[in-house]
């Protein structure tokens, strides 16, 4: 309705102008669209303004870290209104590529930068500095009806690895209620995810590839969601993503070793076999606002946030 009225006014205006010029016009004139746009732009600019000066930190990378990074950014915005942290996900590879190209202030990664990547970054004048900001324990997820309580790395490798020969739950000697086909649904991640790369390293070994035929999900949460709803499924994902509706078996490093449950404690003390450090990379020694932010992330306050999100902090912190 409002638009019609605006158009009315516009039509009247042009009509009068043209009539006075002695021209019999056929219709109205164009050129309204650009005006409206300029007006709209001015309007939102006015709405968005009023923030004063602030420093902006670009933080990009790992999907595993993205939720913690978001929680840090949210908390920090409340604490220091003068600094804003823009968080973007996309995967560790995305963050590292941005670090190499110099389009990011802090890159999040759930794996160490490779030497070749560090070389590339140096070639562009960016010297990556590494900070360990916490630890991630990958949990193996099962449907709650699944009777299995413990798995070994060897079993996981036989299931996920190339050349593996385990396809059915009965090969593990169990019958899973609700899984009529007996066939194991292997849930995995897309191959640019840090979780995928780390699982391969820790479980299959550097050289061994994943076997084809797994369901590759595009987010840590998707893995858990799928397993939650699929009795036949087994999956792996960060243990921060656990819900009450999935089961996490304990994991054995060697067939005769202890079976360790995924927990913050077992990740810190290194007894849990699939836990890894999480990194932030800055370009050169951080200064100013970036330095302050990193320091805060590593402080007890920042470390308690990563702890609350289900990851393990770098050391002992008291978060009670």
Binding site for another protein (CB under 8 A): 1-4, 7-8, 11, 23, 25-30, 33-34, 37-38, 40-41, 44-45, 47-49, 51, 54, 56, 58, 60, 63, 66-67, 69-71, 73-74, 77, 84-90, 94, 101, 103-104, 218-222, 224, 240-241, 243
The number of residues in the chain equals 320
Quote the least distance from Cβ 180 to another protein, whole Å.
29
Report the residue number, 109 or 155, with the smaller CB distance to another protein: 109
Report the residue number, 41 or 132, with the smaller CB distance to another protein: 41
Report the residue number, 172 or 236, with the smaller CB distance to another protein: 236
Report the residue number, 152 or 220, with the smaller CB distance to another protein: 220
Report the residue number, 8 or 162, with the smaller CB distance to another protein: 8
Quote the least distance from Cβ 139 to another protein, whole Å.
13
Quote the least distance from Cβ 3 to another protein, whole Å.
4
Quote the least distance from Cβ 245 to another protein, whole Å.
12
Quote the least distance from Cβ 121 to another protein, whole Å.
14
């Amino acid at each position: 309705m409002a638009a019609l009225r605006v158009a009315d006014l516009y039509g009247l205006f042009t009509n009068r102008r043209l009539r006075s010029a002695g021209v019999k016009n056929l219709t109205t004139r164009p050129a309204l669209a650009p005006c409206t746009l300029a007006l709209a732009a001015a309007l939102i600019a006015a709405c968005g303004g009023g923030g004063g000066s602030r420093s902006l930190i670009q933080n990009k990378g790992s999907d595993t870290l993205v939720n913690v990074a978001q929680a840090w950014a949210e908390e920090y915005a409340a604490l220091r209104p003068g600094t804003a942290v823009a968080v973007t996900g996309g995967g560790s590879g995305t963050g590292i590529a941005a670090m190499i190209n110099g389009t990011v202030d802090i890159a999040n990664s759930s794996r160490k930068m490779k030497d070749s990547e560090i070389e590339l970054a140096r070639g562009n004048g960016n010297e990556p500095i590494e900070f360990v900001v916490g630890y991630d324990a990958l949990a193996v997820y099962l449907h709650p009806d699944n009777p299995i309580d413990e798995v070994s790395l060897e079993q996981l490798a036989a299931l996920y690895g190339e050349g593996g020969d385990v396809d059915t739950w009965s090969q593990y000697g169990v019958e899973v209620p609700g899984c009529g086909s007996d066939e194991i649904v292997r849930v995995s991640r897309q191959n640019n995810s840090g979780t995928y790369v780390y699982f391969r390293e820790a479980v299959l070994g550097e050289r061994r590839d994943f076997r084809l035929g797994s369901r590759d999900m595009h987010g840590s949460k998707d893995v858990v969601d799928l397993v939650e709803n699929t009795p036949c499924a087994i999956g792996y994902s960060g243990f921060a993503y656990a819900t009450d509706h999935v089961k996490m078996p304990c994991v054995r490093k060697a067939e005769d070793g202890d079976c360790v449950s995924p927990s913050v404690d077992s990740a810190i003390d290194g007894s849990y076999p699939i836990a890894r450090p999480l990194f932030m990379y800055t370009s050169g020694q951080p200064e100013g606002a970036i330095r302050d932010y990193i320091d805060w992330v590593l402080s007890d306050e920042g470390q308690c946030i990563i702890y609350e999100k289900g990851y393990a902090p770098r050391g002992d912190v008291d978060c009670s």
